[in-house]
């Protein structure tokens, strides 16, 4: 018995010492893959804009200089710790082992992950607190104050007037979090304090107190979710069918036109897609079960066509949303809001600007990024 305990202790000490040591050595070698992910997995996270451990790209001013605020010593320390843990040797294997173990011990009803929540019917949700607060949004515990909503309204109104002076139409969109649309698949252990989420609260306030166009397509998504899968099962984002529903709600609101899902074509590119949520949990090999649908712009109803240049400024949802728009506008440009520079208005000369944010980011509508 004593020999067994001794060997267990030795094995444990070797494990906790060797993993950090190998991590340090690997960090000194060239061509190291960040986060321990495969190239394919890294490409998915980059394409989706999912920020593991809250990593963000910095913004630059028009001279190319970094315009981010100076970091405190604590922030630099935290970033260093995050970089070390992100590059931990065998990190994804360890995460996968941990999540598989907790799933096994709970009969497949729970997984242990800092960023991924396993819901009902094998649907995964984003539970991070470092990239917005989607679970708080779902619970309804992070509502805006009246002052915060008034500040957002003032900024959006000022932006609209500023762009109108340049003969540019300005609209805003807020895309509901997956948890809001598929609430029936959320675990029963997470209680909703208020079923009106922060995005819906803001949309109601703006509709009641301003004449701004603020599209929050919750009702359209709920009305269509039984007709087709609108969000990926394994990913935090909507798929292109969901993006089509979102943009048709925009067209209905702004132009008074609308098209149903079955009036356009989507091709199937893959049936074994593993999204960002299962990837971050180390379960991409087990849950590669999503279908990838791709909108075919030539199937768009030409009666909805606008002979205009669209600049779409948004987040990771904007990739699919701008792809849908290519069937309905003369030219479409998509820029990440974090990288937007005012000079882009001169570069693209848009007739229409859509500023979009996912619900978990909707507080950033207070930021005057489209004002010079």
Using a pLDDT cut of 70, give the percent of the chain over it: 70
Buried b (16+ CB within 10 A) or exposed e, 96-109: beebbebbeeeeee
**What's the pLDDT at 2?**
61
pLDDT band at 281 (very low <50, low <70, confident <90, very high): confident
**What's the pLDDT at 214?**
98
pLDDT tens profile 178-191: 999 999 999 998 99
**What's the pLDDT at 114?**
78
Task: Tell me what the mean pLDDT of segment 142-167 comes to.
Answer: 98
Whether residue 93 has pLDDT greater than 50: no
Task: Tell me what the mean pLDDT of segment 130-159 comes to.
Answer: 96
Task: Tell me what the mean pLDDT of segment 222-238 comes to.
Answer: 97
């Amino acid at each position: 018995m004593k020999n067994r305990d001794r060997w267990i202790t030795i094995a444990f000490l070797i494990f906790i010492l060797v993993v950090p040591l190998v991590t340090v050595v690997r960090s000194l070698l060239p061509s190291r893959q960040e986060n321990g992910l495969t190239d394919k997995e890294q490409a998915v996270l980059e394409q989706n804009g999912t920020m593991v451990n809250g990593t963000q790209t910095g913004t630059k001013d028009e001279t190319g200089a970094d315009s981010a605020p100076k970091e405190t010593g604590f922030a630099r320390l935290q970033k260093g710790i995050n970089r070390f843990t992100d590059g931990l040797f065998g990190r994804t294997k360890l995460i996968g082992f941990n999540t598989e173990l907790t799933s096994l011990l709970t009969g497949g009803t729970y997984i242990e992950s800092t960023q991924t929540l396993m819901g009902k019917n094998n649907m995964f949700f984003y539970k991070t607190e470092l990239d917005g607060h989607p679970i708080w949004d779902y619970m309804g515990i992070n509502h805006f104050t009246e002052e915060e909503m008034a500040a957002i309204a003032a900024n959006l109104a000022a932006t609209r007037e500023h762009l109108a002076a340049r003969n540019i139409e300005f609209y805003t969109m807020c895309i509901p979090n997956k948890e809001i649309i598929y609430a029936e698949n959320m675990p029963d252990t997470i209680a909703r304090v208020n079923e009106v989420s922060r995005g819906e609260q803001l949309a109601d306030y703006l509709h009641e107190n301003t004449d701004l166009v603020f599209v929050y397509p919750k009702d359209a998504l709920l009305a269509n979710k039984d007709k087709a899968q609108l969000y990926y099962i394994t990913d935090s984002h909507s798929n292109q069918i969901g993006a089509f529903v979102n943009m048709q709600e925009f067209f209905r609101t702004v132009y008074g036109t609308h098209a149903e899902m079955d009036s356009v074509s989507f091709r199937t590119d893959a049936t074994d897609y593993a999204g960002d949520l299962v990837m971050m949990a180390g379960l991409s090999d087990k849950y590669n079960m999503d279908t990838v649908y791709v909108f075919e712009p030539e199937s768009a109803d030409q009666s909805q066509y606008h002979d205009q240049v669209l600049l779409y400024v948004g987040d990771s949802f904007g990739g699919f949303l701008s792809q849908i728009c290519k069937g309905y506008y003369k030219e479409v440009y998509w820029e990440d809001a974090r990288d937007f520079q005012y000079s882009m208005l001169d570069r693209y000369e848009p007739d229409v600007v859509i500023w979009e944010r996912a619900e978990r980011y909707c507080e950033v509508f207070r930021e005057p990024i489209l004002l010079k």
